[in-house]
Structure 1
């Protein structure tokens, strides 16, 4: 058969092939671009919206906002919805870059978002039912993660979406192709690699490579070994399946696959692989939450404050990746926590021993008598467990009592470590109430910057912050405000009063005010005002209050920064009204700061994710008292350490008379009448530190006032803290002296005070009037 005849015979077939070729040509050259254009432009709203170019340049990620100490350390895991701390490409390290490139996209540096050979391989595998591996590039995976291309919301849903799973798959893939190309045009390869690692999830509430490296290996990303990098890069094939903490064998196999790929593409030698593939994965698992790490109480208080502050500034604390620089010093915070743990563990042992020896109720009144039904009426009825049971079964139901007393397995706190035990809810509530609590705060009086904050004994088990939340009676810690009022009105700390019974008639009150001393007796001795304050003599403090009047004392407290309500009652002289440790630190700081009160603060500045400062408010300060009055008060407070209830700062902790140098410290103890609250405050030129100790309920206290006084409960925390601070030369706080005003207008050395006024036989000039002591 001739060639012509063959052509004539096969003409129908050639015609069909030509038509098919033209169809493929038209589809490939015209149809495919048209289809991609239609998807990218969401023609007729068939395909759903794609992110705008502005969204592409500023992808909306939930970024972790991070706290930093004044000495540059990160505090905790930050505040987040997704625990995500972004890093730059330079912070990744070669091991992570090589591991991901080998495992997911070895032509990453050569393509422009779409890897055509991989696409054809996948297409061929689908047609031959022999699919091996995916065809998505790192850029495509990033597009999928950033913009949730496979999550259909009603407001962004296209008309063709959600009807057929195969059509949906095609549309999703097309969107990812378009977005990956746009990403490649908007960002460098290095930026895309960093964005990928910052975007993906690694389980255990770790989002992004920095959180993952910290969670699984307690390292920075750049410090990860080849093996560790392979573990994290390999997890992207299936986060749960290859999590090393819950599926170690699967994770090891996947790690070795990644390292084998690194050998294949010349990122790793065969010899190194043969060595690295054998060992099991060694984790240093560090869960990222607020119950671990330094300054847990502080971080929670700061979270509440910062949430509102950021809202006012127009930012989201949990999503905008803010950098919050605090005044907390990590070294001083560590010492504060160590001092609290050391002092409180010993005090708790003593408290438990006394309870056992005295065989008494945990809840007692001021005379040591048990308070009947306190547990049932005041404690259990307020517990969340009780309220939930009442809501479920009704208040009179037997089920409430049954479940409250039903034993169950619990892990409880103890100073010797966590204990696994069996307890009922009633027993566990009573067990936890037996623990004494504490609060500690230290700040720089010259700036108001808070340096250390300890809100309790263990944040994991006791969430309540005892530094700023609520308030307790300060007892004798309030007395310096009474004496400061007297000094401001012209009184010298060398004036002599007699410790004897006092009875003061108060207007509109039937009975006179006749306070007792803590010891329950009066010594009859004459003593100066500074001695009376140093030894917390109630009778003389009452006399001074009668001279200066309560209204003047209340005014003094307001100027010194006490915001708690203090009514103008005579009894406030003995510290009967609540105040917080936070307020008291600021007030005592004014004495050391030459009479200027500065509101204690902890945020120095806040930066957005790009490093722009968005908050840098100066501390609030005001003149509270004159420099002379402030210095006289410091002199009086030093007497507490020399001869008063704070002598232990010198004798026990050697903070005043050191081996090589001396130091000036003012201090004051505070103890409420039944010893339910113990306080101690110490003031130096560069540091003011204070502590409170007591039970959660005021009915929980030592039966003896001697055992529960602030000098025994709270002073050890302050003393240990200051010992550690002075011993650490890197902090820069040294032993020093207060600055005496050049023209101090009164004599404070009582040995030189020639004109001592005795209230028993002399008159005192007071507010231009003659005051005759009673």
Structure 2
């Protein structure tokens, strides 16, 4: 009887064991089957080997300066630049593992313990997603689905995670995860996040900064440290990460307690296309890259684009721009233009000028300028696209609305105001514009490029796209042609008297009788060196009359001037329009012993893997002999020694303006400098071209419209409008010895055949005169 009871009691136990093994085996088979079905794309297409090897992530293209700094990026929505695992600090990786996946280095993509815990506690004690699974979601499955689709999506993430673990090392997966995540505020990936939130590279992050960024993985929209979002919540989340690091022994409890008391210490530096360093150059470069992409097909993999996309393909563009010199240039422009603009406003108040900011125009002419500005504005085009009638558009342009306008007086260069769009056009036309380019003449490498005063408000690039009358900066081309063709020297003399070129001569339709800038003539014999230093028009007119306009035009074209130049005598005074880009390239030939080198901005282009796609080939040509080039340089040295550029030596002038702008002597440059100022009719354009042996820099200042200008030559000349920018820029360059800007003399050719020592010539002439006098006194 007892045995029967025992047998009866053992039946349920064996039944339990039986069902346990049945369920266990079925569970195993089910899991295997689910994984098998998932791998066969039963729950949706999975990435194949090729896509796993080359996941499609949008990468921003980088613009890299010659000194290795990041100037900016091109991107649509994803401002992402990948970094290698080796570039990540150890504490950043530790923070990620401690917070997101403590057993990361122990599993193969799926954390069984975490999965079971999440299953039994329904996620209340933490989720089960590993770093590999989160990467799989970011790369291939996207945002979390709902309902049944979420379960199938999870299964796909498991499968992809295990494949990723087979395909990549643990370190590579971590690097990919950091690179793919969107940290908000255009901070796609860890490098952008480090730069935008802390102004540094990932390798330079400290522990608390790393903890904050890792804390954002939970929800970068919620845990966003910017003042307008959630700095307090972000701080709390960062402290949770620090606590996790202490829990797993990555930092001590003492370190945790100390770090949790610190503030976030942000250095928020947003990155966008309209701000940052070298904005105008970056926009020029965008056009350059677009042309390059059209001519260079992409060796695309399966499923990829067959054309290079500057905003998605992660190209590395190595440029000639030196970030230090670029910064010096932008600072010089801002310092000078702030003061110059203030003086312009003083002279163009409604009481002093009823048509301000325009001079010499009547009301109808002013209205035509504003009409043209209105019809070419983005606002007009946008309203036109939206089907608005012209009557509605015009009414909208006259209605005052809240807006931001440009201002030199605020730190952000923005000013909130209420103004009609039409008035805002007139307001912004009152600002003087500028262009500046700096180039190494021996290589053609462009070192600095400033196309305007503020790219956000004034997007027209005056370096490359803009062309304005060159004024007296064109005169060295005339002198070069005369020295080359007529074998003149800087010490040869011409009388300063008015010179007329008759109608019909050299293609003239009318007689041409140019005046000197002050309307006076000394009547004295004047050396070419003094004539160029004083920018004497009468001497330049006589030179082009002797040599003819055709050789001058030919000389200019050899020097890289592409504009159509009429072969008429008046071009000698710079009546033709030139760009700063072309003028700097042309002057570079004088500093480079007569060899023209086409300006270079891009030296190399690489794809995201470092494969070289483009390397530049220098474009050079001989334009003139070394002797002629040196003679012209010698002429232009006279400009900075005794002419309009002489203020570079002392840094001050008699003008009250300079005493207000500068304190003390801002330049005091004693090294050899060759240069030329230029001022056009009505003071519409001010130029300065300045050279030292290994750097040529051109500066232009003027209004968008030629009618926007100073009333007097005192403020409207090139020596006042443009030269100060060059002086401040060069002084800053010389202060940084690492830049290697030469302060030596220009290289003198061996066996120089052109006499440039005018003091010696004068001495010989005086001796000859004394001999002649002695002969006349002899009594035969």
Q: Same fold (TM over 0.5)?
A: yes
Say if 1:202 and 1:208, in contact at 8 Å, map to a contact too.
yes
Query: How far is 1:700 from its partner?
Result: 0.4
Q: Cα deviations across residues 162-193 of structure 1 (Å, max 9, x unaligned)?
A: 9xx54422322222112111211222212211
Say if 1:499 and 1:522, in contact at 8 Å, map to a contact too.
yes
Instruction: Output the CA distance in 1 between the equivalents of 2:353 and 2:141.
Output: 65
The equivalent of 1:69 in structure 2 is 65
Instruction: Output the CA distance in 2 between the equivalents of 1:189 and 1:567.
Output: 69
The equivalent of 2:599 in structure 1 is 600
The equivalent of 1:327 in structure 2 is 320
Say if 1:65 and 1:80, in contact at 8 Å, map to a contact too.
no
- Comparing 328-337 and 469-478, the one that deviates more: 328-337
Say if 2:223 and 2:231, in contact at 8 Å, map to a contact too.
yes
2:276 corresponds to which of 284, 293, 312: 293
1:112 corresponds to which of 105, 108, 111: 108
The equivalent of 1:702 in structure 2 is 710
1:405-554 matches, within 5 Å, as: 405-410=399-404, 412-417=406-411, 418-493=414-489, 494-506=492-504, 510-554=509-553
What's the secondary structure of 1:681's corresponding residue? strand
2:267 corresponds to which of 271, 281, 284: 284
1:181-260 matches, within 5 Å, as: 181-245=162-226, 246-260=229-243
Cα distance change of structure 1 residues 178 and 387 upon mapping to structure 2, 3 Å threshold: closer
What's the secondary structure of 1:66's corresponding residue? strand
Query: Paired residues, what number?
Result: 736
- Comparing 373-382 and 566-575, the one that deviates more: 373-382
Q: Cα deviations across residues 648-684 of structure 1 (Å, max 9, x unaligned)?
A: 2223279xx9999953221111111111111010122
Instruction: Output the CA distance in 2 between the equivalents of 1:748 and 1:623.
Output: 22
What's the secondary structure of 2:621's corresponding residue? strand
Say if 2:514 and 2:541, in contact at 8 Å, map to a contact too.
yes
Say if 1:413 and 1:461, in contact at 8 Å, map to a contact too.
no
Instruction: Output the CA distance in 1 between the equivalents of 2:631 and 2:451.
Output: 32
- Comparing 658-667 and 230-239, the one that deviates more: 658-667
Q: Please list every run of 5 or more consecutive structure 1 residues that lacks an aligned counterpart in the other structure.
A: 152-161, 758-774
What's the secondary structure of 1:489's corresponding residue? helix
What's the secondary structure of 1:257's corresponding residue? helix
- Comparing 66-75 and 632-641, the one that deviates more: 66-75
Instruction: Output the CA distance in 2 between the equivalents of 1:303 and 1:661.
Output: 37
Instruction: Output the CA distance in 1 between the equivalents of 2:95 and 2:141.
Output: 25
Matched, 1:56 2:37: no
The equivalent of 2:287 in structure 1 is 304
The equivalent of 2:356 in structure 1 is 362
What's the secondary structure of 1:385's corresponding residue? helix
The equivalent of 1:676 in structure 2 is 684
Say if 1:366 and 1:673, in contact at 8 Å, map to a contact too.
no
Say if 2:649 and 2:667, in contact at 8 Å, map to a contact too.
no
The equivalent of 1:353 in structure 2 is 346
1:272 corresponds to which of 231, 255, 263: 255
Instruction: Output the CA distance in 2 between the equivalents of 1:106 and 1:543.
Output: 86
Say if 1:320 and 1:608, in contact at 8 Å, map to a contact too.
yes
Query: How far is 1:594 from its partner?
Result: 0.7
Say if 1:390 and 1:400, in contact at 8 Å, map to a contact too.
no
What's the secondary structure of 1:730's corresponding residue? helix
Say if 2:649 and 2:670, in contact at 8 Å, map to a contact too.
no
Cα distance change of structure 1 residues 220 and 663 upon mapping to structure 2, 3 Å threshold: closer
Cα distance change of structure 1 residues 662 and 247 upon mapping to structure 2, 3 Å threshold: closer
Instruction: Output the CA distance in 2 between the equivalents of 1:361 and 1:566.
Output: 33
- Comparing 105-114 and 630-639, the one that deviates more: 630-639
Say if 2:501 and 2:545, in contact at 8 Å, map to a contact too.
no
1:132 corresponds to which of 114, 119, 125: 125
Instruction: Output the CA distance in 1 between the equivalents of 2:760 and 2:256.
Output: 84
Q: Please list every run of 5 or more consecutive structure 2 residues that lacks an aligned counterpart in the other structure.
A: 299-307, 654-664, 766-780
What's the secondary structure of 1:319's corresponding residue? coil
Query: How far is 1:445 from its partner?
Result: 0.9
Instruction: Output the CA distance in 2 between the equivalents of 1:756 and 1:498.
Output: 22
Cα distance change of structure 1 residues 511 and 734 upon mapping to structure 2, 3 Å threshold: closer
What's the secondary structure of 1:496's corresponding residue? strand
Give the RMSD, CA atoms, in angstroms. Answer: 3.2
The equivalent of 1:25 in structure 2 is 25
Query: How far is 1:433 from its partner?
Result: 1.2
Matched, 1:318 2:301: no
The equivalent of 2:378 in structure 1 is 384
Instruction: Output the CA distance in 2 between the equivalents of 1:573 and 1:661.
Output: 30
Query: How far is 1:526 from its partner?
Result: 2.9
What's the secondary structure of 1:674's corresponding residue? helix
Q: Cα deviations across residues 370-395 of structure 1 (Å, max 9, x unaligned)?
A: 94424533433433334444665756
Say if 2:669 and 2:731, in contact at 8 Å, map to a contact too.
no
1:141 corresponds to which of 129, 134, 144: 134
Say if 2:61 and 2:310, in contact at 8 Å, map to a contact too.
yes
Say if 2:498 and 2:514, in contact at 8 Å, map to a contact too.
no
The equivalent of 2:729 in structure 1 is 721
What's the secondary structure of 1:243's corresponding residue? coil
